[in-house]
Chain A
């Protein structure tokens, strides 16, 4: 509940005349806090097993909003697992994730729909897609308003879809970031890129507030996310 108070001060007070938005922001904060704790287990979208330690309860809750920064491969690994379920995934905005890399990561391309240039309509398009798709990846424009963010987060929760954003986003439950990376396979003038060791760090709210980290190969030699000793620590 302290969380709710903070939300009010931080975001809603500056645009005080906008009462519906203000109320919505209170609703968002309280409801998501509740959803993180309880809820039936079938409301979890599949994720690659190596990433499980990063998510509270070991899974990605349907209806949640997460951000991924600094790594398209990480986005693809999450998309691939949902699409293999088999689920439907969509992507809005540019630049599009690399399609060849997507195929290598195991994404079913026929069930991965891309809207590269939504223009001014990006929020409307995303809202429409959240109605039907299991996971929607959004590259929001820099001018995305807080109202749009709140509305889309609420829509995702209402439709039990996962909203995955590749930029900063207010109201996201989990923020994933690649904090360390090292490519293997390249020498001084010879070799090819083969696999990448990464450390992925998760920060979040509520049950996800404690930071977690996982070390893995992303992509591994076959293009997918592979384990490489998983660590979970509470230090920053």
Chain B
């Protein structure tokens, strides 16, 4: 895209369909009530009502809450965003074929043919917005302009930019819309504040001073489009394909397949020095249906998808197909998937990333790739669920508080995680938790079994502890009983017991529980 030949190519008439504040809408919020989605402690998206109160993207959660106390905060979940978006994408696709999803909440599509079919651009827009609203109940904002970037900007302003006017439309817009903070911060300090100012700079100087990505941004500011949003088939040997036997119909198995395939594709591209900025995900079901959906990388970038970004998009799409849509006539596939293909539609030379000379100390990226390769190997050996990381959340019990999340799946927090849990034992937590509690005996001086009454009294002072398979040791310190009475409303899951902490003469610490006449050891503080 650095050559003038591609730049001079006439930008294609593009329609952008944008659902404002999609993460909030997908989480169940709406534009009228203040809501926000938080990612890594900062506001990631907020509703229009929240914005009126002064909530902004990138704010800290606490700051946002102080500006707007009634703010509803939703957890961040990109696969949910993609899943809920699938019906919207489907209903646009039904009207204008060949859509590309830029991110959940934003779709672009070449509009010329469709505009001719619906006898004009305005009738096309009317048709799209009413159809989407009728079929899915979501409001969309539309923009029509020459080129993807201009169309996306036009959608933010809900405008139709006449042919050939994209440059004039973009000129007064602030330079920050390029979404390249490092570049635009510098330009603003240099006094270049709008896209029009930036476009006036000589292209060769921009390229020499800021590099190819900035030169590409410069083209965007001009209203040029280096690549039209149209299908251009990649060489067949780049396509990654996998036959699935047995057919998959569950999201978790699909995730694993998506990852393997994404890695394959990425490796093929990178050995040729290529990166892919648009990818088609194709699937065939047992009954022969063909499902196809395209995803575009950021819409306005020269950097391609990374392996994990390809895997994410594939996972979102499979999730959307398998569980999202409930419309029976054309949505949900009727059987499991038997074939999955990833086709890189649009490939660009990969400018690459300069690794530090002395290993990975400064970047750490190299480390992550090595780790991912090693874990993929272990998952291949033992299955995708065998490799996990732990999330410590809310709960009363040492085992209840820990969730093991399979590697490659998002480490989500649940609503209860940050709430106080009355009845939780204070830290330190036991370092050894037995997978199944081990039977034990707690006896008094006279050798009789110590019991706990219904009113939480201890029948005698605990004196001896005997864990199954070991000899008895003397108890030197004990505390309890602390009652645990959970899920009493559900007869099968209900659990009522009393817990004790005990130290023995050998210095060890134990977590014991007493349940209807039986003692057991839950964990050991070693």
Q: Which residues of A contact B (CB under 8 A)?
A: 70-73, 75-76, 86, 88, 94-104, 109-119, 121, 124-125, 128-129, 131-133, 178, 180-183, 186-196, 219, 222-223
What's the Cα separation between A186 and B371 when bound, in Å? 43
Which of these, A97, A117, A132, A181, contacts B432 with CB under 8 Å?
A97
A100 and B411 form a contact (CB under 8 A) = no
* Min distance, Cβ B330 to any Cβ of chain A, angstroms: 40
- Tell me the nearest residue of chain A to B507, going by C-beta: A181
Chain B: how many interface residues by the 8 Å CB criterion? 52
* Min distance, Cβ A222 to any Cβ of chain B, angstroms: 8
A187 and B479 form a contact (CB under 8 A) = yes
**Residue numbers in B under 8 Å from A219 (CB-CB):** 428, 431
**Residue numbers in A under 8 Å from B401 (CB-CB):** 99-100
Q: Which residues of B contact A (CB under 8 A)?
A: 364, 367, 370-371, 373-375, 377-378, 381-382, 386-392, 398, 401-402, 404, 407, 411, 425-435, 458, 461, 477-480, 501-503, 506-509, 523-526
A116 and B388 form a contact (CB under 8 A) = yes
Most buried by A among B458, B503, B508: B503
A133 and B386 form a contact (CB under 8 A) = no
Number of A-B pairs whose CB atoms are under 8 Å? 161
What's the Cα separation between A99 and B479 when bound, in Å? 23
Which of these, B375, B378, B431, contacts A97 with CB under 8 Å?
B431
What's the Cα separation between A102 and B432 when bound, in Å? 10
**Residue numbers in A under 8 Å from B432 (CB-CB):** 72, 95, 97-98
A192 and B391 form a contact (CB under 8 A) = no
- Tell me the nearest residue of chain A to B386, going by C-beta: A115
A98 and B378 form a contact (CB under 8 A) = no
**Residue numbers in B under 8 Å from A103 (CB-CB):** 392
* Min distance, Cβ A123 to any Cβ of chain B, angstroms: 11
**Residue numbers in A under 8 Å from B398 (CB-CB):** 98, 100
* Min distance, Cβ B219 to any Cβ of chain A, angstroms: 39
B364 and A86 form a contact (CB under 8 A) = yes
If the complex has contacts A98-B433, A192-B425, are A132 and B508 also in contact, measured as CB distance less than 8 A? no
Which of these, B382, B389, B523, contacts A118 with CB under 8 Å?
B382
Which of these, A131, A181, A195, contacts B508 with CB under 8 Å?
A181
B374 and A186 form a contact (CB under 8 A) = no
A98 and B479 form a contact (CB under 8 A) = no
What's the Cα separation between A178 and B506 when bound, in Å? 12
* Min distance, Cβ B421 to any Cβ of chain A, angstroms: 12
**Residue numbers in A under 8 Å from B507 (CB-CB):** 180-183, 196
What's the Cα separation between A71 and B501 when bound, in Å? 18
**Residue numbers in A under 8 Å from B525 (CB-CB):** 73, 183, 193, 196
Which of these, B392, B434, B480, contacts A100 with CB under 8 Å?
B392
Q: Which 3 A-B pairs have the closest CB atoms?
A: A186-B477, A72-B431, A181-B507
Most buried by A among B377, B378, B407, B426: B378
